[in-house]
Amino acid sequence: DARVTQTPRHKVTEMGQEVTMRCQPILGHNTVFWYRQTMMQGLELLAYFRNRAPLDDSGMPKDRFSAEMPDATLATLKIQPSEPRDSAVYFCASGLAIGQGPKMNTEAFFGQGTRLTVV
Amino acid sequence: EDKVVQSPLSLVVHEGDTVTLNCSYEVTNFRSLLWYKQEKKAPTFLFMLTSSGIEKKSGRLSSILDKKELFSILNITATQTGDSAIYLCAVEAGQGAQKLVFGQGTRLTINP
Distance from CA of A82 to the nearest CA of B (A): 23
The residue among A91, A23, A2 whose CA lies nearest residue B86 is: A91
- Using the Cα atoms of residue A49, residue A52, residue A58 and residue A61 in order, give the sign of their dihedral: positive
Task: Identify the pLDDT of residue A102.
Answer: 47
Phi, psi of A86 (to 5 degrees): -80, -10
Task: Identify the pLDDT of residue A61.
Answer: 87
Task: Identify the pLDDT of residue B52.
Answer: 92
Residues of B in contact with A111 (CB under 8 A): 42
Task: Identify the pLDDT of residue B82.
Answer: 95
Which pLDDT tens digit goes with each residue over A65-74? 999 999 999 9
Task: Identify the pLDDT of residue B84.
Answer: 96
Residue A103 pLDDT more than 60? no
Alpha-carbon Rg for chain B in angstroms: 14
- Using the Cα atoms of residue A28, residue A25, residue B30 and residue B9 in order, give the sign of their dihedral: positive
The residue among A12, A32, A5 whose CA lies nearest residue A82 is: A12
Interface touch B96/A102, C-beta < 8 Å: yes
Which pLDDT tens digit goes with each residue over A12-62? 999 999 999 999 999 999 889 999 998 888 888 899 898 898 888 888 888
Q: What is the pLDDT along chain B (112 residues), one digit of tens a residue?
A: 789 999 999 999 999 999 999 999 998 888 889 999 998 778 988 999 998 999 999 999 999 999 999 999 999 999 999 999 999 999 988 765 567 889 999 999 999 9
In the 8-state DSSP scheme, what is residue B42?
A: S
Distance from CA of A111 to the nearest CA of B (A): 6
